[in-house]
Amino acid sequence: MKKLMMVFLALGLLAGCTKYASQEQLDELNAKKQEVATLKTEITQTQEQKATLEAQRDSLKAEIDNLEAKIQELEAKLK
């Protein structure tokens, strides 16, 4: 997220410093835009992975809770 903010800050400084942009500045701007798009894609993928892992965690926790309940039930029958 910090990288994204730094990119926007750099772009703002570049845009505010001159009235007309040189080709080099336009190329740099396009490169920064591509970097921002890449970072956004990485963020989305990471969020999707996080959601998948959280779903797996919740599923395993439910399974553990179920098994613990069965253990208690069996222990009660043994007494």
Give dist(CA 29, CA 7) in Å, integer: 10
* pLDDT at residue 6, as a whole number: 75
pLDDT in tens, 53-70: 999 999 999 999 999 999
Question: Which pLDDT tens digit goes with each residue over 16-52?
Answer: 655 688 999 999 999 999 999 999 999 999 999 999 9
Is residue 29 within 8 A of residue 22, CB to CB? The reply is no
Q: List all residues 6 or more positions away from 36 whose beta carbon is below 8 Å from its beta carbon.
A: 4, 7, 8
Q: What is the pTM of this model?
A: 0.59
Q: How many domains does the chain have?
A: 1
Q: Which domain holds residue 35?
A: 2-78
DSSP sequence for 41-62: HHHHHHHHHHHHHHHHHHHHHH
pLDDT, one tens digit per residue, over 34-43 is: 999 999 999 9
